[in-house]
């Protein structure tokens, strides 16, 4: 019997729309982690987990987990899920789809009368989105033992430390120095793509092969402020000119690398600050923050060398100083488990759903769970690739396809892992 046939699209869709309505008044769709609205959503999820026959608990990192014991003791746990918190004014599906597809898979298995050999857990990770503590993926970091003392001491604008907030969510922050799980055998996460590839290629499923690493570089040029009308063009120290040259280099070089067959590459100069930022003053300083995302670590290291050299050249050409070239943050790419990726593809094929292999340019909880066990992701299309926006949208059919592929893949993992 195939439990994927027992997925109920209407039931899944009703849950998606109901959870979306648990939002800050006048701000769809906002459930910030650690907030009262987030806890409202958690209480609703716990009720739905319980109704599906799952036994609920909060783990040491403040993650909500629903569990169904398997038929064979000692085989370990197969886990699926995502997160229910949102960015401010975010969407109905980012994170939420993964939690509710996992819940629907658990219900489909129950309705089909099937009990996995492995224990099955559905998880809502705490605070996947960047939080008021300046940190993302807090729950999955904690589960993986990757939430250190310094991070737990981070303070929110209202004065609460992250450790205190985790405790308020029901966790035990003093236990997060080491990995919290040794029983996990596989992890699968369903997510909207947050990009336009699947929709434009008219494909219902993406099997994610890797989660890109994210490197952020701060660049600061120092020049001299002068009168914009009296300072000759050849005697200026214009910091913005150097910044413009680097912005052009970043876009051009990232485009070349993306076309070179070296994996996923994107680079964005999303922060550009000019001072004194007046129309009649030659810019004294220019600050850029470059966001670089790659699937191959060697690519970003080579890119950074080229970028630093381009900064020195731009500074020299504009007669300004390169005052700062600093890594603000740096996470390594994470490869998804090849066996799980293959199973996702095979599950899609079995259900008559075309798919493609692809890299996630966004970060996900799966990247931290991959430190504990084999992990992989299922992508479904989202309209116009939009995400982190009230207009974020996924069709009922695409949502159901994600749940069906997940359900099929869970049965295959249970058989082969």
Residue 281: give its domain's CATH number.
3.30.70.360
Q: Looking at the structure, tell me whether residues 17 and 142 fall in a common domain.
A: yes
Q: Looking at the structure, tell me whether residues 159 and 233 fall in a common domain.
A: no
Query: DSSP readout, 92-119?
Result: SSTTHHHHHHHHHHHHHHHHTT---SSE
Q: Looking at the structure, tell me whether residues 22 and 146 fall in a common domain.
A: yes
Instruction: Report the C-alpha gap between 265 and 256 in whole angstroms.
Output: 9
From the centroid of its chain, how far is CA 217? 19
Task: Decide: 334 and 213 in contact? Cβ < 8 Å.
Answer: yes
The rounded mean pLDDT for the chain is: 97
Residue 106 in this model has a pLDDT that exceeds 90: yes
Instruction: Report the C-alpha gap between 31 and 19 in whole angstroms.
Output: 10
Q: Looking at the structure, tell me whether residues 38 and 184 fall in a common domain.
A: yes
Q: What is the pLDDT of residue 286?
A: 98
* CB count in 10 Å sphere of residue 31: 27
Q: Looking at the structure, tell me whether residues 104 and 50 fall in a common domain.
A: yes
Q: What is the pLDDT of residue 211?
A: 98
The tens digit of pLDDT for each residue in 269-327 reads 999 999 999 999 999 999 999 999 999 999 999 999 999 999 999 999 999 999 999 99
**What is the strand order of the sheet 285-294 is part of?**
265-275, 285-294, 213-222, 321-330
Residue 54 DSSP label? P
Tokens of 319: 């007669």
Instruction: Report the C-alpha gap between 295 and 301 in whole angstroms.
Output: 12
What is the tally of structural domains in the chain?
A: 2
Residue 75 DSSP label? S
Domain containing 117 equals 3-211+333-416
Q: Looking at the structure, tell me whether residues 183 and 246 fall in a common domain.
A: no
The CATH number assigned to the domain holding 407 equals: 3.40.630.10
The tens digit of pLDDT for each residue in 326-385 reads 999 899 999 999 999 999 999 999 999 999 999 999 999 999 999 999 999 999 999 999
The tens digit of pLDDT for each residue in 25-68 reads 989 999 999 999 999 999 999 999 999 999 999 999 999 999 99
Q: Looking at the structure, tell me whether residues 344 and 295 fall in a common domain.
A: no
Q: Looking at the structure, tell me whether residues 384 and 315 fall in a common domain.
A: no
- pLDDT tier for residue 1 given thresholds of 50, 70 and 90: confident
Q: End of a domain among 297, 330, 363? A: 330
Q: Looking at the structure, tell me whether residues 12 and 129 fall in a common domain.
A: yes
Q: What is the pLDDT of residue 46?
A: 98
Q: End of a domain among 267, 300, 330? A: 330
Q: What is the pLDDT of residue 240?
A: 98
Q: What is the pLDDT of residue 382?
A: 98
Q: Looking at the structure, tell me whether residues 152 and 236 fall in a common domain.
A: no
| Mean pLDDT, range 173-192, rounded to an integer | 96
Q: End of a domain among 269, 303, 330? A: 330
Q: Looking at the structure, tell me whether residues 10 and 129 fall in a common domain.
A: yes
Q: What is the pLDDT of residue 99?
A: 98
Instruction: Report the C-alpha gap between 220 and 217 in whole angstroms.
Output: 10
Residue 71 DSSP label? S
Cis peptide before 242 (omega within 30 of 0): no
Q: Looking at the structure, tell me whether residues 350 and 323 fall in a common domain.
A: no
């Amino acid at each position: 019997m195939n439990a994927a046939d027992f997925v109920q699209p209407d039931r899944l869709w009703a849950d998606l729309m109901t959870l979306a309505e648990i939002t800050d008044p006048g701000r769809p769709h906002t459930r910030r982690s650690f907030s009262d609205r987030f806890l409202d959503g958690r209480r609703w999820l716990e009720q739905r987990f319980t109704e599906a026959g799952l036994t609920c608990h909060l783990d040491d990192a403040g993650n909500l987990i629903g569990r169904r014991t398997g038929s064979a003791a000692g085989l370990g746990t197969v886990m699926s899920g995502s997160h229910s918190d949102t960015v401010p004014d975010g969407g109905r599906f980012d994170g939420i789809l993964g939690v509710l597809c996992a819940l629907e898979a658990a219900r489909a298995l129950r309705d089909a009368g099937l009990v996995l050999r492995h224990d099955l857990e559905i998880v809502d990770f705490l605070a996947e989105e960047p939080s008021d503590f300046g940190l993302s993926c807090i729950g999955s970091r904690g589960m993986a033992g990757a939430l250190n003392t310094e991070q737990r001491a981070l303070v929110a604008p209202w004065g609460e430390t992250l450790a205190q907030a985790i405790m308020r969510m029901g966790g035990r922050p003093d236990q997060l120095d080491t990995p919290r799980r040794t029983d996990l055998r596989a992890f699968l996460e369903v997510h909207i793509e947050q990009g336009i590839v699947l929709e434009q290629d008219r494909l219902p499923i993406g099997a994610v092969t890797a989660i890109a690493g994210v490197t952020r570089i701060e660049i600061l040029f120092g020049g001299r402020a002068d009168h914009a009308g009296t300072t000759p063009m050849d005697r200026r120290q214009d910091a913005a000119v150097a910044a413009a040259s680097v912005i052009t280099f970043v876009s051009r070089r990232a485009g070349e690398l993306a076309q070179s067959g070296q994996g996923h590459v994107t680079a964005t100069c999303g922060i550009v600050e000019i001072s004194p930022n007046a129309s009649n003053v030659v810019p004294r300083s220019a600050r850029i923050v470059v966001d670089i995302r790659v699937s191959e670590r060697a690519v970003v290291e080579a890119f950074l060398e080229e970028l630093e050299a381009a900064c020195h050249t731009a500074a020299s050409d504009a007669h300004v100083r390169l005052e700062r070239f600093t890594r603000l943050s740096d996470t390594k790419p994470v490869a998804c488990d090849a066996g799980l990726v293959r199973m996702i593809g095979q599950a899609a094929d079995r259900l008559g759903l075309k798919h493609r292999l692809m890299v996630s340019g966004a970060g996900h909880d799966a990247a931290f769970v991959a430190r504990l066990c084999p992990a992989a992701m299922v992508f479904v299309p989202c309209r116009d690739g939009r995400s982190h926006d009230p207009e974020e949208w996924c069709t009922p059919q695409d949502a159901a396809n994600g749940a069906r592929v997940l359900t099929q893949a869970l049965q295959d993992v249970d058989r082969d892992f």
